Structure 1
Amino acid sequence: MRQTSDRAALRAALLASAAALAIAAQARAADLPAADTATAPGGDSAAISLDEVVVTAQKRKTNLQDTPISISAMDAEALKARNVQSVEDLGDGSIPSLRVAPFFSRKSALTIGMRGIGALGDANQPARDQAVGVYVNGVYMGRAQGLGSALYDVERIEVLKGPQGTLFGRNTEGGAVSIITKAPTGQFGMNTTLGYGNYNAYKAETHIDLPEIHDVSIKIDALLSKRDGTVTNPTTSGQPDFNSYDKRGVSVEALWRPNDNFSADYAFDSSYDGSTPYYVQLEKKGLYALAPMLKVQPDRAESANVGVPLQVSDGDTWGHRLNLNWKLGDNLELKSISSYRKLQQNQFDNGSEMLSVYSPGGTFARYSVARFWQDQASEELQLVGKTDRIDYVFGAFYFRENVRDNAQTPNSLQWNSTGTAYSYLSLNFDTISLDRASHAKTTSYGAFGQASWTPAVLDDRLHVTAGGRFTTDKKSGTLDIVNGALPSYVNGAGTTITGIIPFDAKWNHFDPMVSVAFDVTPDVNVYGRWSTGYKAGGANSRSLTYRTFDPEKVKMFEVGAKTEFWDNRARVNVAAYTGDITDAQVDFSVTILNQNRGTLETTNAASATTKGVELDFAFKVADGLTLSGGYAYTDLKLSKAYNPFTDTMATIYPLYSPKNAGSLAADYRRPFLGATLKAHLDANWSDGQYTTTTDPTLSDKSFIVNGRLTLADIVMGDNQPALQLSVWSRNLLDESHAFMRNTNVALGTYAIYNEPRTFGIEANVKF
């Protein structure tokens, strides 16, 4: 599967190049000619300074330094330098406060958390939600499924930390991730990239801007990114390996601007996402015996213990978006964001064959074949304006979705009488009964408003902001099948009923926000902010009861400072926060050993406190050399909660929430042989973290280094496109760590490991 010698040589070359480049950058930076400077007033000298960062966290464009919220932003250049192809790639810790964990059975379904909030429950179910909202061009993405799909020509990603309930609404108690793609320019241009990497990875991506015709500008994006697996599935029947991906998609956007006061921006996108699951490996055996042919794997495995039948999990996602913008006056705009989206996911997961109880002649390797369907429609209206001393936004929001799922979970292998060999079972999914099935419908309405007032005192340096949002959520649905049978429940008369369990609930919620900001100097701003948010209530379709649980709520106080100094060559932003979480949604699970299956219950049994510190910084050390990074300290403490399976008060552990995490990056550029040499190196580290609410087992600490070396602006001739050549690597040092680890007394300790080193080359042309 692997060409060891060739890879070793390429790895050594990449590492040596990155190290040499970093040393050269530091040694020669002070003597380099200007590459990306801004001219000082009067034009007498060149001023080396950081670029302004513009964000839309307050539903209008503002300077990052003037926005009283803890925000991290990554532009297109930073995303490319880190070879970020999807939100999943941000899981390396490049934004320390943002924790991204793929669902190991289906990699495109992501669990996202911030400030210790967001990962306590399984958000992959139809009647459950995430605690961190993801938005693409203003459109809320209602499901965890599909969030790992490839990104289209991103302009920037904004990560808003802490509750965003007032302006962003439901399911933003931990924060919000806002993805903004590049709009049509109205001028002809084409940007095409081709790439190849190890594990037979290849990539093709193109972005085409067409000339404006009759006030209409059109942009077309298309991409393909595919890679083989990183863990061998040892079969003789050509089954795919573990941890592969296949991402494809196309987007068409048309911008109509008939005059300066109106624009209509319509977009259609369609994506395919294929992947195979992570391999779950047994690090340490439990009380129960293993089959003689099996072995524990305490380090990152290159091959699975046994070969299993496996099919690529696939998903199709598509949607329409229409953004309208009316300029009603010099300082007043009306905006509309309309969207309809649909997704279908098919999951084929056989990555957990080790999580079975061994018995001679018994069956094992539970093959989870699950299907998931969702469609959503949303509409948001915003009235954005300002007067001499007040900036304001008022709006209304509507969201509706239908979701359903089902799954079959037969065992796919059978041991011989001695456990020294196994055979494949013949599986006919047309005759295998469903293990579970459910559906849910959500309707949500909201109205919000926020105003920022600058009173005529203290030289206009004081800014007071207040706002609120009222939301109504309605959810209904049914649990049709659970653990392979019709469910049963006790009705209001105390009678046990066997049949479909209904679910119908309604909640009202109000999210206020208040902040006070003060401009100490034009370059130093401090603020205090009190904000709220919530995660919607729902029901657990993996439960035997389908019992309703209520929304999880957060109130948080934050203080921060945003500073620029050293002639705008240095930027340091810091925030500290403390918050209270009430009615925390906690999952409790139990394994049914004789059936190799389990069940879950979700309760609002816990409360929690969270506190922490966040730091973001950037320094233009010299002309062409920038150092940047961040740090997050997170301390989340949960109360004990009642475990319905053990009838005891259980200790609850915060999920995917390392106490310390940080990142550091160096970016260097200089003219070189008539072109531009660019080098990027980043290092990201974090403490271990818990990955199950009732399991004290920690994952490993991590230290991931990524790098990219580019020769850009290569002139190919008069009126010819510009050429760019790059080599890149993710996990450059081939560091190995388990990012998920759990312990079961009977089965043992099992884990999922990070990806090995990946690297590749790319060629890009721009017309």
Structure 2
Amino acid sequence: MTSKASAISIAALALALASQAHAAAPAPADPAPAAASGEEPTIQEIVVTATKRETNLQKTPISISVVNAQVIKDRHIQSLYDLADGGVPSLRVATFEARQSALTIGIRGIVPLDANQPAREQGVGIYVDGVYLARQHGLNAALFDIERIEVLKGPQGTLFGRNSEGGALSIISKAPSGKFGGSVNAGYGNYGAYTIGAHLDLPEFHNLSVKLDGIKQYQNATTKDPLPGSTGWNYYDRQGFRGAVRWKPSSDITNDFSVDVAQDKNTPFYSQLLNYNPNGCANGAVTAATTCVLPSFSYTTLTGGPVKPLLPGVVVNGTSRMTTADIGVPQQPSVDKSHGFTNNFKWKLSPEVEIRSITAWRGVDMAQYDNSGGAHRVPTIALTAACTAAAPCAFSRYSLADLRQRQFSQELQAVGSIDRIDYVAGLFYFNEHVSDDAATPASIGAVAITDGLGNVTGANYVTIPFCTGSTPLFVGKAVNGCSIDRASAVRSRSYAAYGQATWNATDALHITVGGRYTKDKKEGVLTFFNNLNYATATPAQLAANGYQPLDKTWNRFNPMATIAYDVTNGLHVYAKYSTGYRAGGASSRTPNYLPFNPEDLKSYEVGLKSDFWDHRARFNLAGYIMDRKNSQEDLSFITTANGASVNVLRAINAPGITKIRGVEADLTVAPVTGLTLNLSYAYTYTHIPLIPVTFTVGAVTSAPVLQQFYIPFTPRNAASGSIDYALPVGGGDTKVKVHIDGNYSQSAQGFDQFPTKAGASFIVNSRLSLADIGMSNAGQKLTVSLWVRNMFDKQYIFRQDPSNSLPGAPTSAAQLTTGAGGPIQNVLGDYGNFNAPRTFGIEGTVTF
């Protein structure tokens, strides 16, 4: 069976079998209530808002996973990164290498590797209370009081629209209730971790209800930095406040205001040296047996060796997570500050129409200090007697960066029903300004220890004084006057009109059609590259770099159509066609600000949703085929800019069709009172056509080399299971509650250019609670919990980069024409990041 057919055929077979089974039994007159009466076990109904109205999850013809408030507690989910363990198998979450606060989020194989550039977009839409968040920066801030997180799988190009070709992650906060109540929680864990939270609902007063939320989360580093005064790695210190006001002057009008501020101080995961010169790079001719081969260029000879020996004290460790770095380096926390204001207005004009307005201002300010690789990343140095205290040999790349983002969005919606037609119509406007800069100075110097005869016997390591203002425009920022690698600014505007209607042709047959027209406009400039100020550069300098500012406009129409049929009250099937679109942009990591085009996606999906065994069991299944055109891929190479060779990253559009195929299955069973079992599975097949890669130096362009690219962070097979059991004790509402979940992911690529795969993973989390202990007649209750994440302390590499194990890209016309002189002077080894270690703690919560 071909991969293209397998996804749909598996789902279709199960759909047919389930249809026959349910058709044999008479349908009950009414669906089961949210909870069964008495002691009968049952599965709760789940309400979602994926169609811009409240609907039953089982009757919504979209593949959706819901992470509700109880799951957030049971799994000890404090931020979106805690979903990286695979609790939703088709959702993939990874941190940006330089910061925990910037997240890569993918669904169904739509995973942008480097969406941290201002002129580049994500492939999955992130929404908080209906507001689109344009940047990955600041996404890992602490979660406030969350009602649920809806993971909408597959293109959401009609109702959600902007850059949601892989799906959408919709976070819904708890709204003010108008009744006095709330909760206070505090906890303590290993690595000096602690959490504090307070959530207060105030009584309604003059049609106004107020809700206040404050949170604090802290954890010490899990990999120590031996340099005194440095922070270490995998440290975080998050805090935030949210205030919400609900104004309800009449039964037909609801107006929600909210404001939030958050700060996230964090350090990245430690980048370990996993091996040393694993491809055996050495001077000489390239033969069929040579493994030191650059995948994007065919060298005939390798020069620049021998490969430099490791510095004294450097540890190679590809098997276990390092608890203390081998060589101390300067490392201080990066700081992300985010803020926002949202007004969500609803007016029920008549039984047929409700008018809604969502207005939001948001912003992020980021200062990055990343020394995650220490001595484990290039540049490499040769330790000789010339490395003296007066002139230490510099190494250890310190990645410094700043980003400032501001966005405004306005959305107007009309939602309602007329006879047998449910409809949604809307207008959307989005305006974003982003600027950034980056510098990579060395932070450590090696001083050779000699035996008095000029022979090197060891080394001392000293810190290198910070940058001294070679670019005065940037003094006071994270880059603080260092030589600027790159800086850019971009303005993005988006306009959209959309509509969707569902015709309930019969009580069982539902036909939905919709479409969205989008106009995206981007205007951007490079302000610096390789320390050249583009504002003051001469025309000849700009022409030599091939620079053009970005001024592009793209228009798209994204249609969708769904046929859904209720076979019985407990079995619903659907077939869906949908499309998605991700805007183009320009790469600020290239001296010419190289533009790239949008990518477009078509999706074909069938699915079933079923409840059976008297609502004690639920089984949902979806199979899909997705074809993506003009996939945006990243290519790292060396080019000449301002008379020097620099390492750049350009985004290119892959020719042909990228194929993504998959099957998703979810099973929930409540066999006896108090016991709930869950099992989820995702199969994802991806294939990008071979991409012709060329290099250009001056007027010379190399012959194209067909290179295979990959979709990162997307395992072929992933699964998650959980067990929840609640046992009443001592009378009243008190219960002993046990939760345990296990999450498996097959190995997957960590980068899109290399076949190298990171490690497979199996992570187990658990929680034991004594819940709802009565404290007084006023209704206060106490819950005390013991929790553990990564219970068995499993260690796996979630990102492995082999680029430092390979020859450098060609930098001269001679190399392009002859293939001679493949440089290996900076070969070191693969480096990578291990997952977080086992963490555990105790937590108490008082509700009132």
Residues 207, 221 of structure 1: 8 Å contact kept: yes
Measured against aligned partners, the alpha-carbon deviations of 1:708-728 in whole angstroms (never above 9, x if no partner) come to: 111111122333621110110
Q: Is the 8 A contact 1:319 1:339 kept in 2?
A: yes
How far the C-alpha of 1:498 sits from its partner, in A, is 6.0
1:638 aligned residue: 688
| In 1: Cα distance, 2:543 partner to 2:246 partner | 58
Once the two structures are superposed, the pairs formed by residues 519-534 of structure 1 within 5 Å of their partners are 519-534=566-581
CA distance in 2, matches of 1:492, 1:568: 72
Within 1, Cα distance between the matches of 2:493 and 2:598?
Answer: 15
Tell me if the contact between 1:281 and 1:751 (Cα under 8 Å) persists in the aligned partners. yes
Among residues 463, 483, 497, which one is paired with 1:424 in the alignment? 463
SS at match of 2:836: coil
CA displacement at 1:352 relative to structure 2 = 1.4
* 2:534–2:542 Cα contact (<8 Å) kept: no
Equivalent position of 2:67 in the other structure? 74
Q: Write the deviation string for residues 614-651 of structure 1: whole angstroms up to 9, x where unpaired.
A: 01121112100000121000000100112233742211
Contact kept, 8 Å, 2:34 with 2:45, in 1: the verdict is no
- Give, in whole Å, the separation in 1 of the partners of 2:268 and 2:129: 29
Match in the other structure for 1:297: 317
Based on CA coordinates, which of the two structures has the bigger radius of gyration?
A: 2
- Give 3-state SS (helix, strand or coil) of 2:58's partner: helix
Please give the secondary structure, in 1, of the residue aligned with 2:830. strand
Counterpart residue type for residue 392 of structure 1: Y
Measured in 1, the distance between the counterparts of 2:796 and 2:521 equals: 42
**Counterpart check, 1:547 vs 2:628:** no
Q: Which residue of 630, 652, 671 maps to 2:709?
A: 652
> Hey, what does 1:5 align to over in structure 2?
none
Q: Residues of 2 paired with 1:517 and 1:627: CA distance?
A: 28
Indicate conservation of the 8 Å contact 1:487/1:545, yes or no.
no
Report the CA distance between 1:48 and its aligned residue: 1.7
| 73, 96, 101: which one aligns with 1:108 | 101
Match for residue 736 of structure 2?
A: 677
In 1: Cα distance, 2:468 partner to 2:147 partner: 44
Contact kept in structure 2, 1:486 and 1:499, CA below 8 Å: no
Runs of at least 5 residues in structure 2 that lack an aligned partner in the other structure: 1-32, 282-306, 388-392, 449-455, 471-481, 696-701, 807-826
Pairwise CA distance, 1:156: 0.3
Q: 1:233 aligns with which of 213, 225, 244?
A: 225
Choose which of 605, 611, 623 in structure 1 pairs with 2:654: 605
Does 1:627 pair with 2:648?
Answer: no
Aligned partner of 1:393 in structure 2 is 424
* Matching residue's letter, 1:455: A
**Match of residue 52 from structure 1:** 45
Match in the other structure for 2:302: none
CA distance in structure 2 between the aligned counterparts of 1:622 and 1:244, rounded to whole angstroms: 42
- Structure 2 CA distance for partners of 1:337 and 1:598, relative to 1, 3 Å: same
Instruction: Give the aligned partner of residue 25 of structure 1.
Output: none
Q: Distance in 2 between matches of 1:39 and 1:582?
A: 46
CA contact (8 A) 1:487 1:501 kept: no
Question: Which of residues 488, 499, 506 in structure 1 aligns to 2:553?
Answer: 506
One of 706, 712, 716 as aligned partner of 2:765:
706
Match of 2:7 in 1: none
Q: Is the 8 A contact 2:39 2:673 kept in 1?
A: no
| Aligned: 1:415 with 2:446 | yes
Identity of counterpart residues, as a percentage?
44
Amino acid at match of 2:382: S
Of the three residues 107, 110, 115, the one matched with 1:123 is: 115
Aligned residue type for 1:759 = F
Counterpart CA distance in 2 for 1:596 and 1:734 is 43
What is the letter of the counterpart of residue 256 of structure 1? W
Residues 329-340 of structure 1 mapped to structure 2, 5 A cutoff: 329-340=350-361
Q: What is the 5 A alignment of 1:417-566?
A: 417=448, 418=456, 420-428=459-467, 430-431=469-470, 432-456=482-506, 460-486=507-533, 496=543, 501-566=548-613
**1:747-766 correspondence to structure 2 within 5 Å:** 747-766=828-847
The whole-number CA distance in structure 1 between the counterparts of 2:587 and 2:433 is 16
Distance 1:389 1:491, change over 3 A: farther
Where 2:630 maps in the other structure, the secondary structure is strand
> Is residue 2:189 matched to residue 1:197?
yes
- Preserved contact between residue 530 and residue 558 of structure 1 (Cα < 8 Å): yes
TM-score, normalised on structure 1?
A: 0.91
Change in 2 beyond 3 A, CA 1:722/1:474: same
Q: Distance in 2 between matches of 1:297 and 1:501?
A: 44
- Corresponding position: 1:722 with 2:753: no
- Aligned-residue offset at 1:263: 1.1
User: Which sits farther off after the overlay, 712-721 or 104-113?
Assistant: 712-721
The CA distance in 2 between the partners of 1:190 and 1:240, in whole Å, is 35
* 1:588 shift after superposition: 0.3
Q: Distance in 1 between matches of 2:693 and 2:447?
A: 38
Deviation at 1:484, TM superposition (A): 2.8
- CA offsets 1:402-453 (integer angstroms, 9 cap, x no match): 0000122110111123463221111135442222110110000000000011
Q: Which has the higher mean CA deviation after the structures are superposed, 486-495 or 636-645?
A: 486-495
Per the TM alignment, residue 694 of structure 1 is displaced from its structure 2 partner at its CA by 1.3
Alignment RMSD: 2.2
Mapped partners of 2:130, 2:689: distance in 1: 36
Contact conserved, 2:216 with 2:240, CA < 8 A, in 1? yes
Match of 2:721 among 633, 645, 664: 664
Asked whether the equivalents of residues 35 and 43 of structure 2 are also in contact (C-alpha less than 8 Å), the reply is no
Q: For 1:133 and 1:122, how far apart are their aligned partners in 2? A: 15
Q: Which residue of 1 aligns with 2:29?
A: none
For residues 136-175 of structure 1, what are the alpha-carbon distances to aligned partners after superposition, in whole Å with 9 as ceiling and x for unaligned? 0000001000111111100000000000001111110100
> How has the CA–CA distance of structure 1 residues 335 and 163 changed in structure 2, closer, same or farther, with 3 Å as cutoff?
same
Amino acid of the residue matched to residue 192 of structure 2?
N
Task: Provide the secondary structure at the position in 2 that maps to 1:496.
Answer: helix
1:355 maps onto 2:377 in alignment? yes
Q: Separation in 1 of the partners of 2:518 and 2:570?
A: 37
Per-residue deviation at 1:497?
A: 5.2
Instruction: Work out whether residues 176 and 244 of structure 2, in 8 Å CA contact, stay in contact via their aligned partners in 1.
Output: yes
1:300-330 superposed Cα distances (whole Å, 9 cap, x missing partner): 1111121011111001100100000000111
Residues 322-372 of structure 1: per-residue CA shift (max 9 Å, x gap)? 000000111310111000011100000001121121222321111111100
Specify which of 61, 79, 87 is matched with residue 86 of structure 1.
79
Match of 2:261 in 1: 270
Q: Distance in 2 between matches of 1:515 and 1:698?
A: 37
Match in the other structure for 1:249: 240
Cα offset, 1:503, TM superposition: 1.1
Query: Using the alignment, how far apart are the partners of 2:545 and 2:672 within structure 1?
Result: 72
**Alpha-carbon spacing, 1:46–1:382, altered in 2? closer, same or farther (3 Å):** same
CA distance in 1, matches of 2:713, 2:646: 24
CA distance in 2, matches of 1:574, 1:609: 20
Could you tell me which of 344, 353, 372 is aligned with 1:323? Answer: 344
Mapped contact 1:490–1:496 kept (Cα < 8 A): no
Q: Work out whether 1:177 is the aligned partner of 2:177.
A: no
Question: Structure 1: how far apart are the matches of 2:377 and 2:637?
Answer: 14
CA distance in 1, matches of 2:34, 2:633: 52
| Greater CA drift, 348-357 or 657-666 | 348-357
Shift of 1:190: 2.4
CA contact (8 A) 2:40 2:673 kept: no
The Cα of 1:47 is off from its aligned counterpart by 2.9
Aligned equivalent of 2:289: none
Cα distance in 2 between the residues matched to 1:719 and 1:488: 67
Partner of 1:19: none
Residue of structure 1 equivalent to 2:128: 136
Offset at 1:605? 2.3
Cα 1:164/1:762, change in 2 over 3 Å: same
User: Helix, strand or coil for the counterpart of 1:65?
Assistant: helix
Structure 1: state its 5+ residue gaps.
1-36
Contact 1:54 1:63 in 2 (8 A): yes
Query: Normalising by structure 2, what TM-score?
Result: 0.83
Alpha-carbon distance in structure 2 between the residues aligned to 1:689 and 1:574: 24
